[in-house]
Amino acid sequence: MEWGSGRREVERLAEALAEQFGGVPIDLPAIASAVGIIDVAYCDMASAALLQIGPVWGTWGVLIRQLDARARQRFSLAHEIAHVALGIVGDEWRYRGEAAERGGRTLAERLCDYYAAALLMPRALVNKAATETPDVNELARKFDVSEQSMRIRLEHCGLHSLVTVR
């Protein structure tokens, strides 16, 4: 899978899942449960999040750094949901590719980030909200995401010129 086609496909999949659970902000605990994540725990740890195999086949647990801001924790959970929903799990994915060898983000990790953004901020809902509330801070609050995430998503949706940044 390449970045361009992969990005379009993961956005389609993420938005289809988000649509099943409707509304803003997106109900991540319900979505996590639907994809087989049976436990989410918050703890002291160096990385933002960690996906673990659950106690029953086909289930998962997620550890999330407790010191992160709520919006960051939501993005981390959405990113781990992406790993499960897209089947991008295990060491064969984590260490694949030249980018990982250089300490950069692999295609798989970038696709999971994009999925997380599309799940938390579905394009149709962002388009509608941006025309009603053209303020990045208000949009970020409405979707329960960081302002940085909202700015990036607005760029992805081609809406960055419609909104103001304070």
Residue-wise pLDDT tens digits, 32-65: 999 999 999 999 999 999 999 888 888 999 999 9
User: How much of the chain is in helix, strand and coil states, percent to nearest 5?
Assistant: 55, 10, 30
List beta partners, residue 39: 61
* Of 28, 24, 93, 79, nearest in space to 50 by CA: 79
Residue 7 pLDDT grade (very low, low, confident, very high; cuts 50, 70, 90): confident
Residue-wise pLDDT tens digits, 114-143: 999 999 999 999 999 999 988 999 999 999
Give SS3 for 164: strand
Amino acid (one-letter) located at 157: C
Query: How many Cα atoms are found within 13 Å in the side-chain-facing hemisphere of 6?
Result: 16
- Structure tokens belonging to residue 78: 């959405």
Q: How far apart are CA 33 and CA 86, in angstroms?
A: 15
Q: What is the pTM of this model?
A: 0.88
Q: Where are the domains of the chain?
A: 3-156
